[in-house]
Amino acid sequence: MNMAQLFEKKKQGQELTQAEINYFVEGYTTGSIPDYQASSLLMAIRLLGMTDEETFFLTKAMIESGDVIDLTSIDGFKIDKHSTGGVGDKVTLIVTPIIAALGIPVAKFSGKGLGITGGTIDKLESIRGFKTELSSQEFIDNVNKHKIAVAGQTGNLVPADKKLYALRDVTGTVDSIPLIAASIMSKKIASGADGIVLDVKCGSGAFMKTQEEAKKLADAMTAIGEKLGRKVIAHISDMDNPLGKMIGNKLEVVEAHSLLSGRQDETHEDLLEECIIISSLMYQVAAGEDEATATAAVKRVLEDGSAVAKFEEFIVAQGGDLADIVQNDTANKVAVKAASNGVVGTINALLIGEASVELGAGRLTKESALDYDAGIQLVAKKGDAVKTGETIAYLYSNREIADETINKVQKAYTMA
């Protein structure tokens, strides 16, 4: 077998066999297939797609490229969630303690952010002392004791994805439904959870720009999970607008804590609604409850303070300093003003995401340094009436704030 044969088959619209897909994944991961050949096949997949069977074989080969985490020493049904990535998406920080407060073990491995998409690990690392690198034993002990642990992905978890994702990122092949489905599901399955709730983002700030594409991705991921014996539910949510009021690592941790503490004026109802939906789905999958019972249980732990108590217990258990969950002053702060009177229609999530990267809240490359305190506070959200010259957002950064960034945020606001 060689790569030339695989190119020919793919070009003629034929399906690749499991053996051919294994040959590609194994060869690329171990270095016997060079980048230029792998990128050629990835582009063919990006343009011509993959059948469900090919996508399944790709996922399986990627899982088998590295370690699979064994969570059997944790009692109970282990539930995980995954978001396909968005702007201001701090849902994991909120729903994991809600679920843990309901007594369901949450054993979650999360990633760092790249581009406009933030990562849970960066957000948690913005808290002084918080440890995201846990040994397997520490991770399992924390889940058994506190019902929650969130850690960075271990070194040898799906090494095929690390190499393939890095190549896709620089060859224009990220936005492919089969490649995204295999990338996400291989990591979720290798992470060992019994059930997975998928939050598929759709809109300007997401990989999937239309409902139709988002539905295809959701269906592809659900089918893979079910074929591999996991309980999976997918939910499609809006990413035309950023979620909540804060974008930026520490700012999002502070917002998550405010929401869990019931300080609704410091956050926005879109975030609360989304968190109730996702945690209700997680509870339905894990506990087999119906929607009404699960949603009532979620609201109960939010209202009686047990979700915020669990959040604080989790932060302390992983070495974080609760006193550091505060918005720090930054060297620079700029108020962005409304350019016209009106009611805010949409706030373009893509532009807000790009501006947050320019402020230092996100990475352009894996090596970029982050400014944990940098970010954007959306003072006006969709549906709010504003007047010309009124402050619609604040920008925070320890870097100089460029006029271009200020203009970008102003332009992100469209008046209805």
State the Rg of the chain over Cα: 21
Residue 82 designated active-site = yes
Judged by CB under 6 A, the residue of 183, 241, 284, 397 near ligand URA is 183
Residue 180 near ligand URA by CB under 6 A:
yes
Which residue number, 168 or 231, has a Cβ lying nearer to ligand URA? 168
In the stretch 131-170, what mask flags binding to ligand URA with x, by CB under 6 A?
A: ----------------------------------x-----
- 10 contact partners, CB below 8 Å, separation of at least 6: 16, 41, 44, 45, 48
Cβ-closest position to ligand URA: 183
In Å, how far from its chain's centre is CA 290? 26
**Pattern of binders to ligand URA over 270-299, x per CB under 6 A?**
------------------------------
Alpha carbons 271 and 237: distance in angstroms, whole number: 11
The residue annotated as part of the active site, out of 80, 89, 122, 161, is 161
Residue that is written with structure tokens 């060859």 in the block:
171
Sketch the per residue contact string, 97 through 126, with ligand URA: x for CB under 6 A, - otherwise. Answer: ------------------------------
For 27, 158, 163, the CA distances from 21, given in Å and listed in that order, are 10, 15, 15
Phi, psi values for residue 236, rounded to 5° = -100, 125
Stretch that binds ligand URA, among 141-149, 172-180, 247-255, 372-380 (CB under 6 A): 172-180
CA distances from 400 to 79, 217, 378 (A): 42, 39, 20
- Tell me the two tokens of residue 148: 């929650």
Q: How far is the CB of 66 from ligand URA (least distance, A)?
A: 15
**Between residues 85 and 118, which has the closer beta carbon with respect to ligand URA?**
85
> Which CB, 65 or 377, lies closer to ligand URA?
65
Query: Exposed, middle or buried: residue 213 (CB in 10 Å: 0-12, 13-18, 19+)?
Result: middle
Q: Closer to ligand URA by CB, 39 or 183: give it.
A: 183
Nearest distance from C-beta of residue 292 to ligand URA, angstroms? 32
Q: Nearer to ligand URA by C-beta: 74 or 198? A: 198
CB of 381 to ligand URA, least distance (A): 26
Catalytic residue among 187, 250, 268, 408: 187
The encoded tokens of residue 226 equal: 């079910």
Contact status: 208 vs ligand URA (CB under 6 A): no
Contact residue for ligand URA among 87, 184, 251, 395 (CB under 6 A): 184
Q: Which is nearer to ligand URA, 6 or 42 (CB)?
A: 42
Contacts of 321 (CB under 8 A, 6+ apart): 127, 128, 129, 130
Active site residue 89: no
399 in active site: no
Pairing label, strands 385-386, 342-347: antiparallel
Is 85 a binder of ligand URA (CB under 6 A)?
Answer: yes
Is residue 226 within 8 Å of residue 52, measured between CB atoms?
no
DSSP state of 150: E
Shorter beta-carbon distance to ligand URA: residue 168 or 408: 168
CA 255 to chain centre: 17
From 46, 82, 381, 408, active-site residue: 82
**204 lies in the binding site for ligand URA (CB under 6 A):** no
Amino acid at position 281, single letter? L
Q: At a CB cut-off of 8 Å and minimum separation 6, what does 392 contact?
A: 336, 337, 338, 344, 378, 379, 380, 386, 410, 413
How many residues bind ligand URA, per CB under 6 A? 8
Closest contact distance (angstroms) between CB of 85 and ligand URA is 6
Q: Cα(93)–Cα(87) distance, rounded to whole angstroms?
A: 14
Residue 183 is a catalytic residue = yes
The residues binding ligand URA (CB under 6 A) are 84-85, 165, 174, 179-180, 183-184
Active-site residue list: 82, 161, 168, 183, 187
